[in-house]
Amino acid sequence: MTAPDAPRAASWSRRRVLSTLTPASLLAVSGCGSSGHAASAVAPAAPAPHASKPAAPASPRPAASLSPSRARPSSISARALAMATPEVSHAPGVTNAVALTFHGDGPPALANALLSEAEQAGVRLTVLAVGQWLARYPQMAERVLKGGHELGNHTEHHLAIDRMGETLAFSEIDRCAQRLEELTGSRGRWFRQSQGQHATAEVRAAATRAGYGTLLSYDLDPLDYRDPGATAIVRNVLTKIRAGDVVSMHLGHPETVVALPDILEGLHKRGLRPVTASELFPLSGGAPAPSADPSLSTSQPSQNR
Ligand SMILES: [Zn+2]
């Protein structure tokens, strides 16, 4: 087991990562929402000042307000709800793989640093991009895909989408999807809702309308967006990770960049291989595909619509 209290000297040291940032740039990112099963591993910490919605306190389940069963009355039809996009957060039956997924926002230098760390280790990640991030840094779409990583939709503005009506929720999803399509030729296979671990029925119905067949949730949240320090991030992942997990982390946070090499080493020691979301949840329903040429995982219109 990797000692979580002494991260190895990464090629991106903490000092070097921090030197790329200004306080203003840190204010541009926020956490994804309520916590998965790793939340209890995190010491209480003040939420990031830029987080528009603090993460829920340590709890194995999301806040009740986020549960589909507690959704507000909706005007959408029962048929639409029945056909709404299903949600996945764990791959049952998988014995040797996990998916590291990232909220796509923040300074490009930090995103590049994290992606490069993964690439040096031969690991491919899944980035759920906020539409406004791509509007500001359109080059990041190509950067993600060229590294062999997977790119998906994380709404246009990262607002509390579960509190919107279905029409506004659809707009948040579709605007980001259009941006992805313009930049890459594909909307991507995956949509993840903003500010919440699980989607309401209205959000899932909106995702269906926007063309997404599956909503990608997560079941392990190391709360890295609270910037608890690289040591805590490593510990929060490695003490809770199980085969088949989807881990939610964040681009744009320097401690996450510093933590990644130790996380990858710890996963390797546990016999857990980081794969993309599409590899963890293959369309065929089989086991995750073995590691292959990174170019094979690049989102293509015909594969990811
Ligand atoms: Zn997010």
Task: Output the CA 255–ligand 1 centroid distance in Å.
Answer: 17
Q: Please report, as a single letter, which amino acid is at residue 237.
A: V
Which pLDDT does position 229 carry in this prediction? 98
Structure tokens at 214: 């599956």
191 bridge partner residues: 153, 215
What is the separation, in whole angstroms, between the first and last Cα of the chain? 40
Structure tokens at 257: 């960049």
Which pLDDT does position 174 carry in this prediction? 98
246 bridge partner residues: 99
Task: For residue 261, give every residue at least 6 positions away whose Cβ sits within 8 Å of its Cβ, in sequence order, or none.
Answer: 7, 8, 10, 11, 117, 121
Let me know: does 177 contact 169? Beta carbons within 8 Å: no
Region label for 162, one of left (φ > 0), alpha (ψ between -120 and 50) or beta (otherwise): alpha
pLDDT digits (tens, 9 = 90+) for 15-26: 555 454 433 333
pLDDT digits (tens, 9 = 90+) for 89-121: 999 999 999 999 999 999 999 999 999 999 999
Task: Output the CA 248–ligand 1 centroid distance in Å.
Answer: 8
Task: Output the CA 256–ligand 1 centroid distance in Å.
Answer: 14
Which pLDDT does position 283 carry in this prediction? 87
- Stretches in the chain below the pLDDT threshold 70: 1-30, 33-83, 285-305
Task: Output the CA 104–ligand 1 centroid distance in Å.
Answer: 7
Structure tokens at 41: 């591993």
Task: Output the CA 221–ligand 1 centroid distance in Å.
Answer: 11
Which pLDDT does position 85 carry in this prediction? 78
Task: Output the CA 31–ligand 1 centroid distance in Å.
Answer: 5
Task: For residue 284, give every residue at least 6 positions away whose Cβ sits within 8 Å of its Cβ, in sequence order, or none.
Answer: none
Task: Output the CA 294–ligand 1 centroid distance in Å.
Answer: 25
Task: Output the CA 32–ligand 1 centroid distance in Å.
Answer: 3
Task: Output the CA 33–ligand 1 centroid distance in Å.
Answer: 7
Q: Is 278 exposed, middle or buried (0-12, 13-18, 19+ CB in 10 A)?
A: buried
Which pLDDT does position 132 carry in this prediction? 98
Round to whole Å and give the CA distance between 194 and 223.
15
Give just the sign of the alpha carbon dihedral 132, 17, 26, 64: positive
Task: For residue 285, give every residue at least 6 positions away whose Cβ sits within 8 Å of its Cβ, in sequence order, or none.
Answer: none
Task: Output the CA 45–ligand 1 centroid distance in Å.
Answer: 18
Task: Output the CA 177–ligand 1 centroid distance in Å.
Answer: 15
Task: Output the CA 112–ligand 1 centroid distance in Å.
Answer: 18
Q: Give the CA distances from residue 109 to residues 51, 106, 113, 224, in Å, rounded to whole numbers and listed in that order.
A: 21, 9, 6, 18
* CA 51 from centroid of its chain's CA atoms: 16
Q: What is the DSSP string of 129-171?
A: E-HHHHHH-THHHHHHHHTT-EEEE--SS---GGGS-HHHHHH
